[in-house]
Structure 1
Amino acid sequence: MSNQSSHAKRVFIAGHKGMVGSAIARQLLEAGNCELVTRTRAELDLSSQAAVAEFFAEEKIDQVYLAAAKVGGIHANNTYPADFIYENLMMECNIIHQAYKSGVKQLLFLGSSCIYPKLAEQPMVETALLDGHLEPTNEPYAVAKIAGIKLCESYNRQYGVDYRSVMPTNLYGENDNFHPENSHVIPAMMRRFHEAKLNDAANVVVWGSGTPMREFLYVDDMAAASVHVMNLSKDVYDKQTDPMMSHINVGTGVDCTIRELAETMQRVVGFDGELAFDATKPDGTPRKLMDVSRLKDLGWQYSLSLEHGLEKTYQWFLSSQAELRL
C-alpha cells in the first residue's frame, strides 16, 4: 500500500490492519502528503528481531506509527497473560530499537488507558502513571504498554530522537472486533442489540447495574489526534510534556453511564424492546475518565459525539457483516 509523491515522507504504520492503524492510514492517505509503508503479519513478523532489523534497513523509513499490539478483553487477558506481555514487549522493543538504529527521528507509540493505577483519581492525569497498583486482570498487557512509554522516553534522553506516546481512552468504530466473547463493550452491545432487533426479542439484558461511567472516543478522532501529536513541532510538544512523563492522554474528557450508552445504542440500532439490567453481574470500576487538558493545550479536541460515532459504526457494521468475526 502506498501513496507516493516525489518528496513525500515514508511513513510506516505498524498494525495498519487493526482498528486504530487502519484509521491512521485513512487519515494520512486523505492528506496525501506521504508514502505509506505497510506490512501484514504474514509479510513481517514484528516479534522477530532479525526480520524487523532487515525491514528497517531496507525501507528507509522517516516516521513510524506504532499501532501494532496484541489486544483483547478481560477473558483473553486472563487466559493468555504470557502471550500478552511477551508479544507486546517484543514488538515494541524491536520496532523502537530498529527505528533508532536505521535513523528514524520521529515515532509515535500508541498505548492504553490501562497503564494507570486501578484506583487512580478521576479524571486520570498523565502524572498518575506508576503511582499505584494496576488492575490485576490486565496487568501483563499494561506493563508492556508502560515499557513502551519508557522505551520512547529513554531513547529520547540517550539518543536525542523524538519518540512520542499517546494513551487513548476506550475506542470504537470501523474495523472493531465484534466477536461475542473477545470484544469490548461497544461492539459487544451493538451486536447484541442488532441480533435482538432481527429476532424481535422482548428485551436486551445489559450486565451490571448500569451506573458505572465510561469514556468513549471514535477511532477516526483517535487517528486525527495521533497525526496532530506526531506533527507538532518539538518546541511545542516539549513545553507540554516532561522528559520523564512524556505521554499524552487522548480522549473526549466526557463520560456517560453504561445505562446512557445502552439507551443511545438502542436508538441508533432501532431496537423497540425493553432494556433490562442484570445487577447480579459485576460492574467493574465505578468510573474511568481521562484528563485531556494537556492535549487541549496542544490544540486538539474530539469532534464526533458518541451518538454520531455510534451511527457511523453501525452503518459500517451493517455493510461489513460478511467479513466480520461474528
Structure 2
Amino acid sequence: MVRNRWYIAAFSHEIGREPMERTLLGIPVVMYRTQAGAPVAMYGLCPHRYFPLAQGRLDGDAIVCGYHGFTFAADGKCTRIPSQETGADFCQPSYPVVEHGPLCWIWMGEPGKCDPALIPPHEDFGIGDGWAHASLVRLPMKGRYQLLVDNLMDLTHLPYIHHQIDGGDAFKRTPMVAVERSHSYQLRRSVKTEWSGFFDLLFGPQHRFDGSCEMESVTDFYGPELIRTSGPIISAVEGFAEVSEALGHVYFVHGITPETATSTHYWSFTTRNHRLDDEQLDRLLDAMDIEVRQQDIDAIEAIEVRIDVASAVQRELLAKSDIHAMKVRHRIQAMLDAEAI
C-alpha cells in the first residue's frame, strides 16, 4: 500500500459524536467529531489492553476507553488514568483529517510529508459551485485495491461486464490518447456512435438528436486513491457542433482506500454540472451507478480468491489495450519504491 497519499476516510455525513471505527491501510482508526464539529482520527485501540476505543464514549472533545476509562484528548494525549488519578506522558497516534464538501481525507503516511495541497483537486472532478453530487455510497470490496485500479484504467471490459449499457461496443477497439496533466494521468477516447437511450437518461430526452454523434470518454488517474471516469461527453452531433457545454458533463468518481492487503473501501459517487436540482435524475443515477459498480466488484472478488494460485501457475497475458493500465502500475510501483528508500 502506498502510504504517503491522502485517502478518503469517510463521507462527511458518516462522522458524528458517536465514535466509529474503520480499518484504513491495515490500521484500526477511531473517528468522531469535536463539540465544534471538527473531525478527529486516531489509532483505534487503547494502548492499555488494546480495547477498541470506538466502544468507549466521548467526554467533551476527548474519548474515554470503555474498558478501564483511560482518556485521550483529540490530539491523542493521555489525560487521565482513573486508577491512579493522573494522566500519562503518552500520546496515542493521531492522523490529520481534511474535510472538503462530502469527503473527509486522512493522511497516514510520514508526518513530515503531509501537505493538504496533495489532495486531488475537488474542482477538477466536480465538487464545488455549479455542480451537484449524488450516489454517495461506500462499497466494501473483498479484493486488493490494484485490481480496482486495473479495472478502471481498462474500459474494454465495458460491453462484457456492463452489457446493459448502450454503446459499450465502441470501447472494444477504439485507441486511447494519454495526456500528462498537472494532477492526473489522463486517457481520452473519441468514438462515433448513435444517440442512445442512455444519453436521454443523462441529458434529458428534449435534447435528443437523430443520427450519429461524436462522443468522448475521459479517465483521470490522480493516484491510487482516486480515479475519475466521465459519462459520455458529446462533442459534436451531425448538423451541430460544440454541443458538450450545452448538454453538460457527468463524472463517475472512484475513491479507493485500501482496508487490508486484500480488501478495499470503494467510495462511489457521481457529479454533474447540469440538471442540478433534478431529484429524478439523482434516483436514476443512484440505481445505475450501484448496479455498474457492483458488477465490477463481483468480477474483482472472483479474481481475488484465485489470483495468488493462478499467478503462480501462469503468467498474466497482456493485450495492447493494457498499455495504460501497465503504465499506472509502474507509477504505483515507483511510489512504493520511493517509500522503501
Which TM-score applies when normalising by structure 2? Answer: 0.25
Which structure features the higher share of helix residues? 1
TM-score normalised over the length of structure 1: 0.25
Q: Which has the higher strand share?
A: 2
